[in-house]
Amino acid sequence: MPRFAFRIEYNGAPFRGWQRQSDQPSVQGAVEAALARLDPSAPPMTAAGRTDTGVHAKGQVAHADLARDWDPFRLAEALNFHLRPAPVAITACARTDPAFHARFDATERRYLFRVLCRRAPVVLEAGMVWQLRHALDLAPMQQAAQALIGRHDFTTFRAALCQAASPIKTLDEVTIDAHPHSGGTEFRFTLRARSFLHNQVRSIVGTLERVGAGAWPPDRVGAALVARDRAACGPVAPPQGLYLTEVRYPADPFG
C-alpha cells in the first residue's frame, strides 16, 4: 500500500483536539471521514502530534496508507472537497517512502502563541488569539524566557495528566516579539523543540504573561523551573492563541 504524507491546516475551535473520539468532533475524525470517501479500507492516520481542544494548526503533518496510488495533487483536491465545510484543509500532499513516520521521524516541532493586548473586543480574529485588556512589558518576558532554553526537567510546566515517560525536554527556542495590531499590540511567542510535554507551551506562555504584566519578577520563572513542582507554574494560557506551525524532518516529505 502506498504511503502518503499530508500537511494539514485547521481552525481548532469546533474540535476536541486532533485525536479521534467516538462521541466528540475531532480533526483526525474529520480527515479520516473524508479519506474514507475515497478509500474505505484506509487504516487510521498517524499525526506528528496531538493538538488539544481549541488549538489551531498551520503545519500539522500526518501519514496514511492507501490502497490506490493516487496522484498527490488530485488526492489533496479530493480530500479538500470532502472536508467541506469543516475548517480543515490539506495544504500539501506527497507520496513518501513506506518507512516514513509522521510522528517518530520528526526532528523539530514549532509552535506560535498569539497574545493580543487591546481594550476593544476582538471581532475579526475572535477565537484565534488570547486577548488581554492590560498591557505587557516585552523586555522582562524576554529576560525570563532565557531560563527555559536548553535541556531541563519541565515538571513545573506540564499537565498533571501528561503521559510522557519523562519530564526532561530540550527547548531550543523561546522568542517573543511585539507588533502593532489594530488598536493594540500583538505579542508572538515562538517555541521550538524536538517534542513537547502536554500543556508545556500554554504553561510557559501563561507564566511569562505574569512577568509581562508585572505580577512576577523575571527571575521567578527560573525558580519555578528549578522547583519541579506544578504548583509553582503560573496560570495556563487558553488554547485559542496556540498554533502548531511547522514539523520538520531530516528530509522534507513535501520536497
Residues marked as catalytic:
52
Which uninterrupted H or E stretch holds 38? helix 27-38
For 169-184, b/e burial (b = at least 16 CB within 10 A) is bebeebebebeebeeb
> Could you tell me if 201 and 242 are in contact, meaning their C-beta atoms sit under 8 angstroms apart?
yes
Short-list 34, 8, 3, 49, CA closest to 197: 49
Helix (H, G, I), strand (E, B) or coil at 209: helix
Query: Within its chain, how far is the Cα of 167 from the centroid?
Result: 18
Could you say which DSSP state residue 244 is in?
Answer: E
As a whole number of angstroms, the distance between CA 27 and CA 58 comes to: 13
As a whole number of angstroms, the distance between CA 208 and CA 213 comes to: 9
From residue 142, give the alpha-carbon distance in Å to each of 39, 63, 180. Answer: 49, 36, 18
As a whole number of angstroms, the distance between CA 177 and CA 87 comes to: 28
Helix (H, G, I), strand (E, B) or coil at 88: strand
How many other β-carbons are positioned within 10 Å of the β-carbon of residue 151?
10
